Amino acid sequence: MKHIVAVASGKGGVGKSTVAANLAVSLAQHQFNGLGGPGRVALVDLDFYGPSIPTLMGGGELSVGADDRFIPALRHGVKYISIGFFLKNPDDPVIWRGPMFGKAITQLFQDVNWGDVDICIVDLPPGTGDAQLSLSQLVPLDGVVMVTTPQEVALADVRKAVNMFRKVNVEIFGAVENMSGFRTADGQVVDIFGKGGGEQLCVAYGIPLMAQIPLEMGIREGGDCGVPCVVGQDGASAVTGLFAQIASSLTEKLQAAVSAAKPALNIVND
């Protein structure tokens, strides 16, 4: 894997997994700054307590290769894996203590034959716990994209997450403000979750605001039916353009970074 980027949030319910899935699919649809394209993007679901990526991506199955390693599911041009694939019943809870996170993270990266991957997007659980710390210690993480909604109750938690990643020397590539206003049929924008919170966060911490994604029914419908909005019926919508904007900004930062000092994660074993 050339680059590994986490998508994180301070609290749940802000659409972090939806952003992660649509960003991964957007990266797989086209090359941005020489990175990505079909089959060259991976998505790892580390949200162990709430693994929603299989639903968002429309299912899929793992298989086992000749080397006894897993071959990831492939949907919408993205190779992906989730702890959800290993549950007997999709409604079964994952009841783990902290040390289990490190072991599971290692297995999801090392025991899977990923092939050649330009960018791996990692969907983290919300908060500042074991999964975040384990990932930053076990994997050569290039950086993280924070997801928030505009209201203070979300911003208060994302500020903690930004400070945590900085303490463990993980670069914050930028923030995505999700559910940023709802446009009614007559064109009026209603700021259901407030306005300007993402901008204030980015100014306070000196990080880019990568996009403001509106609250749209098509995004929710795409997630529920397993066809992310960037490839669904709204394929030419403004929202698709916003995810392409995030993808372009992200790959720009990756290409500009001094990656030579950080060896790629050697998990390619075809």
Mean pLDDT by 10 residues, the chain (270 residues): 94 94 96 94 92 92 88 96 84 76 88 95 90 88 96 94 94 96 86 92 96 92 92 69 96 77 55
Token pair listed for 134: 């384990």
Q: What are phi and psi of 93, to 5 degrees?
A: -80, 155
Please give the residue range of the domain that contains residue 84.
3-147+217-257
Token pair listed for 106: 């290692």
Burial class from Cβ neighbours inside 10 Å (0-12, 13-18, 19+) for residue 248 reads middle
Tell me the HSE value of 73 on the side-chain side, using a 13 A CA sphere. Answer: 21
pLDDT for the residue 162: 96
pLDDT for the residue 21: 97
Per the CB < 8 A criterion, the answer to whether 19 and 13 are in contact is no
Residue 14 in any domain: the answer is yes
DSSP 112: B
| pTM score | 0.91
- What whole-number distance in Å separates Cα of residue 76 and Cα of residue 57? 8
**Rounded to a whole number, what is the largest CA-CA distance in the chain?**
58
DSSP 264: P
Residue 56 in any domain: the answer is yes
For residue 16, give the CATH number of its domain: 3.40.50.300
pLDDT for the residue 102: 84
Token pair listed for 74: 């492939």
Residue 157 in any domain: the answer is no
pLDDT for the residue 8: 95
Residue 195 in any domain: the answer is no
Residue 161 in any domain: the answer is no
Residue 41 in any domain: the answer is yes
pLDDT for the residue 264: 55
Residue 126 in any domain: the answer is yes
User: Cα–Cα–Cα angle for 22, 163, 245, nearest 5°?
Assistant: 25
Residue 104 in any domain: the answer is yes
pLDDT for the residue 234: 46
pLDDT for the residue 267: 59
Q: Which residues pair with 35 in a beta bridge?
A: 32
DSSP 31: E
- What whole-number distance in Å separates Cα of residue 259 and Cα of residue 261? 5
The total of structural domains in the chain comes to 1
Per the CB < 8 A criterion, the answer to whether 158 and 148 are in contact is yes
